[in-house]
Structures are given as structure tokens and as C-alpha cells.
Amino acid sequence: MIARAAAHYPGQVMLGLLALTITAAATLAIPAGFRLIIDRGFAQGADPDEIARWFRYLFGIVIVLALGTAARFYVVTVLGERVVADIRLAVQGNLLRLSPAFFEHNSPAGIASRLTADTAQIEQVVGVTVSVALRNLIMAIGGTVYLFYLAPSLAALLVIALPLVLAPLAWFGRRVRRASRESQDRIAEVGATVAEVLGAMKIVQGFNQEAREHARFGVAVERTYAAALRRTRLRAIMTALAITAIFGSITALMWRGALQVVEGTLSGGTIAAFVLTGVLVAGALGALAEVYGELLRGAGAAGRLEELLRERPAIAAPARPLALPVPPRGALAFQSVTFRYPTRPDTAALIGFDLTVEPGETVALVGPSGAGKSTVFLLAERFYDPQAGTVRLDGVPLVQADPAEIRRRMALVPQDGTLFAASARDNLRYGAWDADEAAIWEAARAANAEEFLRALPDGLDTFIGEGGARLSGGQRQRVAIARAILRDAPILLLDEATSALDAQSERLVQEALQRLMRGRTTLVIAHRLATVRAADRIVVMEHGRIVEQGSHAQLSAAGGLYAHLAALQFSDAAAA
């Protein structure tokens, strides 16, 4: 995945490789410079100009090394930042395509941790570790070649020893990779726990659960520490083995070289260059062993992100989607629909469900919790496909239509008035991003939201906080209604839009909803039956089936489930 992302920037990759090659070559040229200085500059009878010449040569190498290192750092770091940005965009783009079924199995907080902690690890790998590894690899290869040029017999012994060094490192490397993956998983768990607790802080403190949550977080932190300890222990052992094997081999070779100097088969400058180059090669191999663990850790992080990129949406447009009729009518039909959630395959949320909603009709769905009311909304917007039966919009089966086109014809007002951490303007135009100022204020007026929106410190440009925290519950709900008005969709879905409001806010919201519902097909979920008396039809659901339907008067007179629920609610209201 990292290589694919970097391949989009061949110019920067080539510049980085060039800078790496120059710096590695300059580093390896330093021993050659010392060889010339010792053999020629320090030779008996050498004049000062000759000595100065070789020292100028060495200083020139240092300048090239400094400039090449700076260029390498800049190019590779910028490339790393760009690659990480592209990976984040790609993962987020794919997540936005996935259906809700994916998020039933995967915690959003855990996914967020992957997009932060794992991408930060990749950023470190691409921006630093990879360049260090490549530089040391080039130095190891180039240095080995130079060693053969200086003293073939000694270099041959070095090459023979390499497999003995690399074999245990490869074995440890596999274990380090597994440990690194486990460590990243534990880090994700910590992030998910923090996000969950901070998002429910009022509940935590309201129920005096601070100590329990602290203990639960402590367990997650200790598991993360234990995983990191295992990873670090393995890396430490691998590094110790690598350094011992590499530098031990170099020491043995230097001993052999010293004997050859005594015998007169090698010059002092040659053995000095061999020793310096050998140290550089050993250091390069040691650094490779050390960064290998980091590379494996980055590979583990990349693998976790690759999993998200490989996910494919369970709900997708067919290769040749059927076009929905134009102009839209707003007819919705459920025909013998049976549906089970992926996480609850043994329990049917809807069983043989049949419902036809005519254009412009207002249908209220009522019933006890778990009856399947919200499932009807999810299937209507094609967040899921039923296991049996058909859902049709204006006569077109939803499975044969483009989900994006289906959702363009619907506007949802959720129970909690979900808003985003943005300005009031951006929240209002979320369903119609190109809406102009006049249209926004017209929608706000229709939703009984104009007065409080004009009173905000910066008007529509006021930041309303995370989830609209700077607004009251009634204000958030009226912003959600104004957003649906701007959407101007033929089908309106109202999910308990007034259930959590006080009497004054409920009156204002109900007035706004009445204006919103005019001329639109409307499906309403309501537990408070007083809010659905005026519906054209009330559909009573229980255990995923329709058990009654009719007007409020008809159902009250029938003496069935609706009459029972109505009697309970209205008697409680009268008692209150």
C-alpha cells in the first residue's frame, strides 16, 4: 500500500533516491580519502601542498555529504507527509462508501485510531525509517564492493559470514512483526476506550462511574504496555544479536588484516580504509537490523489500513442501475419484506412486511420498541437490502437503483437532531450545499429557527460546537428540520422528531413539521401517539409485522394494540 501511494510521485521518489545515493557514496568516499592521506599525504618527503590537496579533497566530501543529507531529509520527509495524506484520504473515502452493516462489526472509535495512530506510524516509516534503511542498504552494498577492491581475500570472508548473521535476524523479524501488529491493535483499543468515555462523560459522572472507567482504561493501558514490552524485548534481542554478529565478524577481519600489514601484503592506508569501510558496513548492517523492527511495525500499521481499503460496500449501485422516474412521485412500497440484521441473524426485524405509501400520504408507524419501525426507514434509504421481498420507490426496485439517487429523494429528521461541529450555515445546507442565503433563511423561517439563528453572535457563521452542543435540544431539532426543508425531497422520514422536547419547543417543532410535510410523502415514527393523530394512516407494528392499520378513531374503537397503547399514554397524561 505504501509503495502504491509513493508511486504516484515518481519525481520525488527519484530525487530522494538520488540524494540517498549521493550521501551514501560521500560517506563511503571518506575512507578512500583517509587512504590517500595516509599513503600519499603522510608519505616520506611529501610537501605541504600535497598534504593540503588531499585534505581539501576530504573536506569537499564532507560538504557533499552535508548538502546531500539536507536534500534527502527534505525530499523524503515531504514525500512521507504526502503519502500519509493520500492514504488517509483513500481510507476515509472508502469508509464513506461502506454500509452501516460494516460499522456494526467495527467500532468507529477503533477506526479513528487507525486513521491517527497507524498513519502516524506510517509517516514515521516513510519519512524517516525507509530513507535510513535505504541509505544503509546502499552503504552496505557499496562498502562491500569497495572492500573487495581493497582486499578481496578479507572481503570474501565477510561475505561468507553474512548468511550466518542474517538467518537469525530473519527469524526474529517475523516474530517482531507479529508483536508489532498486536501492539498496534492494543493502541487502537486505548483510543476507542478514550473516545467512548469522553463521548459519554455526562453519563459517566452522572452515575458516579469515574473510578470504574478509570480502572477499565487502566486495563486497556496495561494490555498495551504488555504488548509493547513483548515487541521491545524481541527487538532488543534482535539488535543485540545483530550487533554482536556484525561487529564480531568485522573484528575478526581486522585482526586478519593487521597480520597482512605485518607481512607487507597490505599498505597502512589500505588497512585504514578497510577498517573504516568495514566499520561503516557493519554500522549500516547494524542500523538495518535496528530499523527492520520499525519497518515491520510500519508494515503492521499499513496492513491494518489496507484492511479498511479492501473493504467493499455491501450496498452498491448495480452495473446498470435503473433510472428513477422524473419527476419523482414519492410512492414507497414494501412487498413481503423479511429482514435480519447481520449482527443478529437469528432474529428477524421484519417478517413478511407489506406496506404501500401513496404519493403525498402521511403514514405513522407506531408500536413497542423493537417492533421494526426504524428498520423500515433503513430499508427505505437502502442502507440494507432485505433477505426476502422487495422495496420499491416510484415502482423501481431499490436493489436495481443507484443508492445515491434513492437518498436524493429522501430527507430525514432524526430523533436526536444530529448536527456537526461546524457553522450553523454549513449544518443548514448540509443536504443542499449550493443553497443561497435567501433559501437558507427561508428554510430557517419555515422551521421556526430564524429568531434564534439571527441572535447568534456571528449569525449563520457561528460555530455551534460538537454535535450542536451550543444549541438547546429544541434549537437543534429545528435546525435539523430546516436542513430537511432545504433538501426539498419528495419523501420525508421523521424519526421521533419531538420525543425529547419540552412543551414549548415541541409546539414550535410541530408547527415547522406541519409546513414541511405539506405536499410530501411522509413516514413518521412516533412513540407519543398524540403527535400522530392527524396522520392519514396509522400503521401499528409488533415483532416485525403489521398488526393493525387505520385512522386514530378507527384503531381506538377496534380495541387492539393501538387502543391499549393509547389508553396507557392518554391516561398517564391525564393523571399528570
Contact 151, 274 (CB under 8 A): yes
- Average pLDDT rounded to a whole number, residues 400-415: 89
Chain segment 286-314, per-residue pLDDT in tens: 677 667 767 777 777 788 888 888 888 88
Q: How confident is residue 375, by pLDDT bands cut at 50, 70 and 90?
A: very high
Listed range (73-87, 107-121, 441-455) with the worst mean pLDDT: 107-121
What is each CA distance from 558 to 71, 356, 373, 488, in whole angstroms? 83, 22, 22, 37
- In single-letter form, the type of residue at position 567 comes to A
Contact 465, 496 (CB under 8 A): no
- The pLDDT, as a whole number, for residue 275 is 75
- Average pLDDT rounded to a whole number, residues 525-532: 73
Q: Angle 503-517/437-446 helices, nearest 10 degrees? A: 120
Which stretch of DSSP H or E encloses residue 406?
helix 403-408
Q: Greatest CA span in the chain, whole angstroms?
A: 123
What is the secondary structure of 535-559 as a DSSP string?
A: -SEEEEEETTEEEEEE-HHHHHHHT
- The pLDDT, as a whole number, for residue 69 is 84
- Average pLDDT rounded to a whole number, residues 48-62: 76
Task: Reply yes or no on domain 2-310 having CATH 1.20.1560.10.
Answer: yes
How is residue 466 annotated by DSSP?
G
Alpha-carbon distance of 506 to 425, in angstroms, equals 23
- The pLDDT, as a whole number, for residue 486 is 87
Provide the mean pLDDT of the chain: 82
- Is the confidence at residue 229, as pLDDT, over 50? yes
- The pLDDT, as a whole number, for residue 365 is 92
Q: How confident is residue 575, by pLDDT bands cut at 50, 70 and 90?
A: very low
- Is the confidence at residue 573, as pLDDT, over 50? no
> Rounded to 5 degrees, what angle do the CA atoms 464, 466, 467 make?
90
Chain segment 231-248, per-residue pLDDT in tens: 888 878 877 877 777 677
- The pLDDT, as a whole number, for residue 353 is 94
> Rounded to 5 degrees, what angle do the CA atoms 96, 100, 102 make?
85
Structural domain spans, the chain: 2-310, 332-575
Residues contacting residue 216 through CB under 8 Å, at least 6 positions apart: 193
Alpha-carbon distance of 193 to 90, in angstroms, equals 25
CATH number listed for the domain at residues 332-575? 3.40.50.300
Chain segment 349-373, per-residue pLDDT in tens: 999 999 999 999 999 999 888 889 9
Chain segment 193-216, per-residue pLDDT in tens: 887 787 677 677 776 778 888 888
Listed range (24-33, 384-393, 456-465) with the worst mean pLDDT: 24-33
Residue 250: all three cell numbers together: 568485522
Which stretch of DSSP H or E encloses residue 354?
strand 348-357
Q: Name the pTM for this structure.
A: 0.67
Residues contacting residue 415 through CB under 8 Å, at least 6 positions apart: 495, 496, 497, 499, 500
Count CB atoms within 10 A of the CB of residue 488.
13
Q: How confident is residue 571, by pLDDT bands cut at 50, 70 and 90?
A: low
Residue 57: all three cell numbers together: 579533497
- Is the confidence at residue 468, as pLDDT, over 60? yes
Percent of the chain at pLDDT > 90 equals 18
- The pLDDT, as a whole number, for residue 461 is 92
Q: What are phi and psi of 264, to 5 degrees?
A: 90, 10
Listed residue (287, 261, 288) closest to 275, CA to CA: 261
2-310 and 332-575, same CATH topology: no
Alpha-carbon distance of 124 to 135, in angstroms, equals 16
Chain segment 409-452, per-residue pLDDT in tens: 998 888 777 888 889 999 999 888 888 999 999 888 888 888 89
Chain segment 263-290, per-residue pLDDT in tens: 777 776 777 787 787 777 777 776 776 6
- The pLDDT, as a whole number, for residue 380 is 94
Q: How confident is residue 186, by pLDDT bands cut at 50, 70 and 90?
A: confident
